[in-house]
């Protein structure tokens, strides 16, 4: 059961913000750097994502439609249903973070990786993750406006305008410049990947620093944190079951069912953290906590499931076919004699 090293870096960044939060001028510098990092992050997303490949996958529209429904319909409905757990299990700020988690688009990299390990339909997973990322740039802020606008979580119409200029505009600029810079981005994928992760760490530090200065973290107790983990475990289990057996009910093949399960049950940490920073402002530290926990949980559980699916295929390939049934004994033919 793998522990994502990047989660350890994120936790280390949270610890750094708790011990040495940015204050005064340092806080202004961190906030400005975080804003620039988010814009750079989504510009690179746009330059990296191949719209043509995603549109080529429209031929498999039933599969992509199933993933989109899971990501942006079923997940949010379950998130709304979790509102009944307030205040018995969850505080209102933690619930807002949980609800935001259900609005985030699916992942691309981990969905592809787990689908490949499980010997599923990898091209379908690539297209499904791309569709979800493209749709999430628009749908996640709109859903947040509808479901979180009146909850007091720091979201406002100004946040919606900000996310358009800080996320959508850089993303579209990256898409527009992709014919000229796409090759450069592909050749320097590893270096730019470090830029991506470094940008997210900077966003996390700025968000958690502001939360520490404002005393927001005093609202979270170990009991509430444990309850959040239980709720997220149930949420992940329900979505893994719905995507697997729901795809079977829709008569998808095994390879497509694997792609639907891994693409339809995940949430993107890379897309969710910057969005939360823009949408929630000072409350972003609590808003991203459920997403960080869910991200690690989905990696651990899906790694086990992917290996199990691969073993099932391997067992089928190595199991010899059953021997043919024994042939029925042949009855000797009787030669009729013609009377003389």
pLDDT tens track for 112-145:
889 998 989 888 888 888 888 888 888 998 898 8
For the chain, domain boundaries: 5-312
Report yes or no: 236 and 301 within 8 Å, Cβ to Cβ.
yes
The shares of helix, strand and coil residues in the chain, as percent rounded to the nearest 5, are: 80, 0, 20
Q: Is the pLDDT of residue 152 over 60?
A: no
For all residues of the chain together, what is the average pLDDT? Answer: 83
**What confidence category does residue 159 fall into, taking pLDDT thresholds of 50, 70 and 90?**
low
Which positions ≥6 away from 8 have C-beta within 8 Å?
none
Candidate ranges 16-25, 149-158, 279-288; pick with highest mean pLDDT? 16-25
Secondary structure (DSSP) of 213-266? HTTGGGG--HHHHHHHHHHHHHHHHHHHHHHHHHHHHTT--HHHHHHHHHHHS-
Q: Is the pLDDT of residue 249 over 70?
A: yes
Report yes or no: 27 and 92 within 8 Å, Cβ to Cβ.
no
pLDDT at site 156: 59
Report yes or no: 166 and 278 within 8 Å, Cβ to Cβ.
yes
CATH no., domain 5-312: 1.20.1530.20
pLDDT tens track for 170-220:
888 988 898 899 888 888 888 888 888 888 888 888 888 887 887 766 777
């Amino acid at each position: 059961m793998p522990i994502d090293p990047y989660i350890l870096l994120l936790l280390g960044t949270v610890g750094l913000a708790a011990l040495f939060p940015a204050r005064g001028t340092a806080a202004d510098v961190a906030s400005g750097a975080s804003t620039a990092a988010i814009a750079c992050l989504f510009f690179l997303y746009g330059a990296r994502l191949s719209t043509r490949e995603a549109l080529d996958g429209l031929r498999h529209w039933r599969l992509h439609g199933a993933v989109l429904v899971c990501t942006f319909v079923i997940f949010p409905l379950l998130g709304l249903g979790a509102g009944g757990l307030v205040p018995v299990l969850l505080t209102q700020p933690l619930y807002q973070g949980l609800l935001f988690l259900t609005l985030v688009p699916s992942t691309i990299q981990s969905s592809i990786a787990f689908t490949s390990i499980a010997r599923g339909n990898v091209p379908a997973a690539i297209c499904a993750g791309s569709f979800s990322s493209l749709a999430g740039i628009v749908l996640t802020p709109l859903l947040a406006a509808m479901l979180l606008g009146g909850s007091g979580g720091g979201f406002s119409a100004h946040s919606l305008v900000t996310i358009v200029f800080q996320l959508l505009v850089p993303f579209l600029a990256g898409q527009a410049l992709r014919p000229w810079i796409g090759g450069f981005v592909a050749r320097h994928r590893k270096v730019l990947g470090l830029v991506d992760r470094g940008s997210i760490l900077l966003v996390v530090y700025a968000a958690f620093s502001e939360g520490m200065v404002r005393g927001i973290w005093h609202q979270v107790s170990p009991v509430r944190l444990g309850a959040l983990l239980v709720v997220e475990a149930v949420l992940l289990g329900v979505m893994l079951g719905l995507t697997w057996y729901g795809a079977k009910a829709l008569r998808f093949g095994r390879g497509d069912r694997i792609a639907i399960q891994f693409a339809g049950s995940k949430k993107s940490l890379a897309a969710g953290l910057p969005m939360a920073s823009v949408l929630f402002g000072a409350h972003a530290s609590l808003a991203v906590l459920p997403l960080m926990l869910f991200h690690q949980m989905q990696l651990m559980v899906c790694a086990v499931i992917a290996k199990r699916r691969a073993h099932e295929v391997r067992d089928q390939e190595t199991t010899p076919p059953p021997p043919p049934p024994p042939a029925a004994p042949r009855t000797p033919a009787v030669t009729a004699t013609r009377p003389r």
